[in-house]
């Protein structure tokens, strides 16, 4: 009976240590990252390239090894949330820059919704960026 109590206490202590250790590791937070448009405007038309960076706000530097995905591109800023266009990821690009290809069928402001997974971080970075398509 006494042995059982000791092992229980030991187990609780070990769990406490593990939790404390994990919290100590999670110094960088998923909230420390934000998306940035490299070029805020595009010309209206087919197959336009949109380049984004994921910035680590604590260092001010772009993050090169993230997985970025575009979830939606639509004209919500112009009161046309139903006017969506397909957006496709593009391979390559500079380190820390992530490119997508989309057709901007109308001049005005488009809302790009993005998500990212960052190595070593828990959770997802969500972001919304406004791109202006010009004639
Ligand atoms: Cu529109």
* Per-residue model confidence as pLDDT tens digits over 108-129: 999 999 999 999 999 999 999 9
Rounded to the nearest whole angstrom, what is the distance from the C-alpha of residue 82 to the centroid of ligand 1? Answer: 9
Q: Classify residue 69 as exposed, middle or buried by CB count within 10 Å of its CB (0-12, 13-18, 19+).
A: middle
- How far is the centre of ligand 1, averaged over its atoms, from the C-alpha of 129 (Å)? 16
- Residues 133 and 106 sit within 8 Å (Cβ to Cβ): yes
What pLDDT does residue 13 have?
A: 60
Kindly report the number of other CB atoms within 10 A of residue 45's CB atom: 11
CA of 104 to the centre of ligand 1 (A): 9
**What is the 130 CA–ligand 1 centroid distance (Å)?**
14
How many angstroms separate the alpha carbon of residue 83 from the centre of ligand 1? 6
CB 125 within 8 A of CB 70: no
Say how far apart CA 38 and CA 45 lie, in whole Å: 19
Element (H, E) at 84: strand 80-84
Q: How far is the CA of 125 from the centre of ligand 1 (A)?
A: 27
Residues ≥6 apart with Cβ < 8 Å to 1: none
Residue 57's pLDDT is 95
pLDDT of residue 1: 52
The residues facing 72 across adjacent strands are 113
- Which residues sit with Cβ closer than 5 angstroms to ligand 1, an ion? 75, 80, 83, 106
Confidence at residue 26, expressed as pLDDT on a 0 to 100 scale: 46
pLDDT in tens, the chain (135 residues): 555 565 666 666 655 555 554 544 445 799 999 999 999 999 999 999 999 999 999 999 999 989 999 999 999 999 999 999 999 999 877 888 999 999 999 999 999 999 999 999 999 999 999 999 999
């Amino acid at each position: 009976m006494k042995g059982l109590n000791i092992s229980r206490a030991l187990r609780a202590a070990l769990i406490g240590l593990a939790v404390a250790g994990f919290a100590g590791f999670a110094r960088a937070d998923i909230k420390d990252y934000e998306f940035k448009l490299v070029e805020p405007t595009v010309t209206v038309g087919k197959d336009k390239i949109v380049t984004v960076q994921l910035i680590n706000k604590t260092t001010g530097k772009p993050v090169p090894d993230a997985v970025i995905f575009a979830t939606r591109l639509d004209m919500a800023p112009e009161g046309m949330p139903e006017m969506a266009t397909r957006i496709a990821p593009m391979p390559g690009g500079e380190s820390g820059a992530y490119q997508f290809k989309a057709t901007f069928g109308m001049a005005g402001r488009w809302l790009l919704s993005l998500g990212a997974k960052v190595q070593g971080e828990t959770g997802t970075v969500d972001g919304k960026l406004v791109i202006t398509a010009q004639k």
